[in-house]
Amino acid sequence: MQAAILLVKLAHLQEDNQRRLAIAEQYLQALEPIDLTLPHLLPGTTHAMHLFVIEHAQRDELRAFLQAASIGTAIHYPRAVHQQPAYQGRLTGSASLPNTERLIPRILSLPMYPELHEDQVQRVCGCLLAWHENQG
């Protein structure tokens, strides 16, 4: 059943990826003035923008602010891979990854899916701008 559904969705993959990229471009443009670390699009490359992950020192407060506005977010990586029980001690050179460990409590995924409507994207951006204004 799942394979049949995914086979139908595969025909729309290019269109869905284009929509994700359009949403990402809207986020990048609207959120540039805010004190967030945003994803970087490298010239000459194509990114599927499956996730739109931002970084902020007050991630949990920002997430709560968005949640209070009924905007869903996700923490896709609550632990680094090398900190997960299944991988502990199994990844060469991963006893200490300070940059990765520093990022884990700071990263948050914003809504990112092809069915996201323009007004929803604008609402997310507006709430993030309001958050930024309230911090100043």
Per-residue pLDDT tens digits for 98-134: 898 899 999 999 999 999 999 999 999 999 999 999 8
pLDDT at residue 5, as a whole number: 87
Q: What is the mean pLDDT of the chain?
A: 92
Show the tokens assigned to 132. 């930024």
pLDDT at residue 46, as a whole number: 87
pLDDT at residue 69, as a whole number: 97
pLDDT-based confidence at 84, cuts 50/70/90?
A: confident
pLDDT at residue 41, as a whole number: 83
Per-residue pLDDT tens digits for 12-27: 899 999 999 999 999 9
Our measurement of the distance from residue 120's CA atom to the centroid of its chain's CA atoms, rounded to an integer in Å, reads: 15
Report yes or no: 53 and 107 within 8 Å, Cβ to Cβ: yes
* Nearest partner of 19 among 133, 121, 97, judged by Cα: 121
User: In this model, does residue 77 exceed pLDDT 70?
Assistant: yes
pLDDT at residue 136, as a whole number: 64
pLDDT-based confidence at 82, cuts 50/70/90?
A: confident
pLDDT-based confidence at 80, cuts 50/70/90?
A: confident
User: Where in 19-85 does DSSP place strands (E)?
Assistant: 52-55
